[in-house]
């Protein structure tokens, strides 16, 4: 498998540092608000990476932290008149609820910052003793950026250029404006822990360094997060971790791209900020997950209603195909005919190409293209009268179902029971369009009566009225069935 390494700025062959065991860390949320679609993208990207590595046969230990003490948490708690720890716990639970809906697997380890204060203090003491950090009279502790020769190697920033124009503010006790906080002296009313420098709390960057080393041990295989974390968060993690241990922090640095909304950067100030919960009022959770896989994880992805509807349509097509294959395979009589050899070869090629896409820096967009190659192949066999009842068709469809299940497990999509999913999808669309189901039933009854009386003009008029409500009617042996367009 080739994986893009932000540190080296190129794709490299991924090989675990320890035999077949992969140790991976991703930065989790700061628990002060509901998760937005940017959080969803990062969570889904690293969930697929974990799933695919396991698909390849690796033993993966995945750690994703929670920042449960931070300025944002304290400020929001003060606004609410709420205890900061209670607020953080509430939003950690909300995170789990959202991620469960998106079929994001729980991380093997979910360390919280407040559970690792001892390790953070010990790391800070080590950095002070080695000359990489210093305490101030007020009780703050800062990392000496210029003491670490490799500073800027992840982000590609030049330390002298960063220094130019930077100033130490009045009252600031930093030796250098680039120095960053390892430990912050507590202000009145803030959560605090005792330390050699007085009551205080850890800096954000320090938390991940301490927790990743505690649970995975440096060096580990993969460190992940969004592109916005490259600088300063991950750059500062590297500086303090590698200065303290004199060893590489992580072998691969993997970063997912941004989410845009109608081609603009998502932000609250622009009014285009969408939480996961907002989105799931109008779309099925699996539609959102599928949409997030339709672009390469390092590329920006544009969240628009049209793109979500396209994802919904494609996901429905996959589930409908699975349902139809399963129904076809329930036939008891099959002829001994074989399919043309090129069809079996095409199936084998699709399987190889799917693997090739996923091995090429986890190209989920390319992999989904091969899923639809398989869907089209299945359809061609079903449409051919001389093939669809053959033993060859049975073998091809059986293999196709296996591949869809295997690929779906690796991607975390299209693996529900088809009838259950299609029913849930219809319910979501009914809610999105505000369809009056009682009115639909009334019109269907009117249409059935008209057809019975061979009043096809009325029947067609009713169908048109239903279509205007986003309702599509089709006639089956079991009677009228309807879905939402």
Q: Where do the structural domains in the chain lie, given as residue ranges? A: 2-265, 305-419, 435-484
Alpha helices by DSSP H, listed for 251-363, are: 276-279, 285-292, 305-329, 341-359
Q: What is the pLDDT of the chain when averaged over all its residues? A: 95
pTM value surpassing 0.85: yes
Encoding tokens for residue 182? 């390892």
**pLDDT score, position 264:** 83
Q: Could you give the CA distance from residue 134 to residue 265 in angstroms, rounded to a whole number?
A: 38
Beta bridge partners of 472: 483
Residue 179 backbone dihedrals phi, psi, to 5 degrees = -60, 145
Cβ atoms of 391 and 337 closer than 8 Å? yes
**pLDDT score, position 345:** 97
pLDDT tens digits, residue range 148-171?
999 999 999 999 888 755 666 656
Contacts of 80 (CB under 8 A, 6+ apart): 87
**pLDDT score, position 167:** 63
CATH superfamily of 2-265: HUPs (3.40.50.620)
Contacts of 142 (CB under 8 A, 6+ apart): 133, 134, 136, 173, 174, 175, 179, 180, 181, 182
Q: Could you give the CA distance from residue 314 to residue 287 in angstroms, rounded to a whole number?
A: 9
Q: Could you give the CA distance from residue 366 to residue 295 in angstroms, rounded to a whole number?
A: 9
Write out the DSSP string of 227-246. GGGIIIIIHHHHHHHHHHHS
Write out the DSSP string of 374-429. HHHHHHHHHH-TTTTTBHHHHHHHHHHHHHHHHHHHHHT-S-S-HHHHHHHHHHHH
**pLDDT score, position 324:** 94
Encoding tokens for residue 188? 């009145």
Encoding tokens for residue 104? 């994001």
Encoding tokens for residue 61? 């230990």
pLDDT tens digits, residue range 282-338?
999 999 999 999 999 999 999 999 999 999 999 999 999 999 999 999 977 898 888
Using CA atoms of 440, 443, 448, 453 in order, give the dihedral in degrees to the nearest 10.
180
Cβ atoms of 223 and 254 closer than 8 Å? yes
CATH class of 305-419: mainly alpha
What band does 266 get if pLDDT is binned at 50, 70 and 90? confident
Share of the chain above pLDDT 90, in %: 89
Contacts of 206 (CB under 8 A, 6+ apart): 120, 123, 124, 182, 183, 240
Determine the Cα angle at 170 with ends 164 and 176, to 5°: 40
Domains 2-265 and 305-419 alike in fold: no
pLDDT tens digits, residue range 402-448?
999 999 999 999 999 999 999 999 999 999 999 999 999 999 999 99
């Amino acid at each position: 498998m080739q994986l893009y390494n932000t540190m080296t700025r190129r794709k490299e062959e991924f090989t675990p540092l320890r035999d077949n065991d992969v140790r991976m860390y991703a930065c989790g949320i700061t628990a002060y608000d509901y998760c937005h679609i940017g959080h969803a993208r990062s969570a889904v990207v690293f969930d697929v990476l974990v799933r695919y590595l396991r698909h390849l046969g690796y033993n993966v230990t995945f750690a994703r932290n929670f920042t449960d003490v931070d300025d944002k948490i304290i400020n929001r708690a003060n606004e609410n008149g709420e205890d900061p720890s209670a607020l953080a716990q509430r939003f950690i639970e909300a995170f789990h609820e959202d991620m469960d809906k998106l079929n994001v697997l729980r991380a093997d380890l979910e360390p919280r910052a407040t559970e690792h204060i001892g390790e953070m203090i010990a790391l800070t003491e080590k950095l002070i003793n080695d000359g990489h950090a210093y305490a101030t009279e007020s009780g703050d502790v800062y990392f000496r950026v210029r003491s670490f020769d490799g500073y800027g190697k992840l982000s590609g920033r030049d330390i002298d250029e960063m220094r130019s124009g930077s100033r130490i503010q009045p009252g600031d006790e930093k030796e250098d404006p680039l120095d960053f906080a390892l430990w912050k002296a507590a202000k009145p009313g803030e959560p605090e822990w005792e330390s050699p420098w007085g009551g205080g709390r850890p800096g954000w960057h320090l938390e991940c360094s301490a927790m990743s080393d505690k649970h995975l041990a440096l060096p580990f295989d993969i460190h992940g997060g969004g592109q916005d974390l490259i600088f300063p968060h991950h750059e500062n993690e590297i500086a303090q971790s590698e200065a303290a241990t004199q060893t590489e922090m992580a072998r691969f640095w993997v970063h997912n791209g941004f989410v845009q909304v109608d081609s603009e950067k998502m932000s609250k100030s622009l009014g285009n900020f969408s939480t996961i919960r907002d989105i799931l009022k109008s779309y099925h959770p699996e539609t959102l997950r599928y949409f997030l896989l339709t672009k390469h994880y390092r590329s920006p992805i544009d969240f628009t209603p049209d793109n979500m509807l396209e994802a919904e349509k494609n996901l429905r097509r996959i589930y409908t195909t699975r349902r139809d294959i399963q129904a076809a395979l329930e036939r008891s009589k099959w002829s001994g005919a074989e399919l043309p050899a090129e069809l079996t070869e095409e199936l084998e090629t699709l399987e190889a190409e799917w693997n090739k896409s996923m091995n090429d820096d986890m190209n989920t967009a390319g992999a989904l293209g091969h899923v639809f190659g398989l869907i089209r192949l299945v359809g061609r066999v079903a449409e051919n009268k001389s093939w669809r009842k053959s033993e060859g068709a049975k073998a091809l469809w059986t293999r196709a179902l296996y591949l869809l299940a295997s690929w779906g497990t690796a991607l975390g999509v299209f693996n529900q029971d088809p009838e259950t999913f299609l029913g849930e999808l219809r319910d979501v669309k009914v809610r999105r369009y505000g369809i009056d189901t009682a009115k639909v039933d009334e019109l269907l009854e009117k249409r059935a009566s008209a057809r019975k009386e061979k009043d096809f003009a009325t029947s067609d008029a009713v169908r048109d009225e239903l279509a205007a409500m986003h309702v599509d009617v089709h006639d089956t042996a079991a009677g009228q069935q309807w879905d939402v367009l």
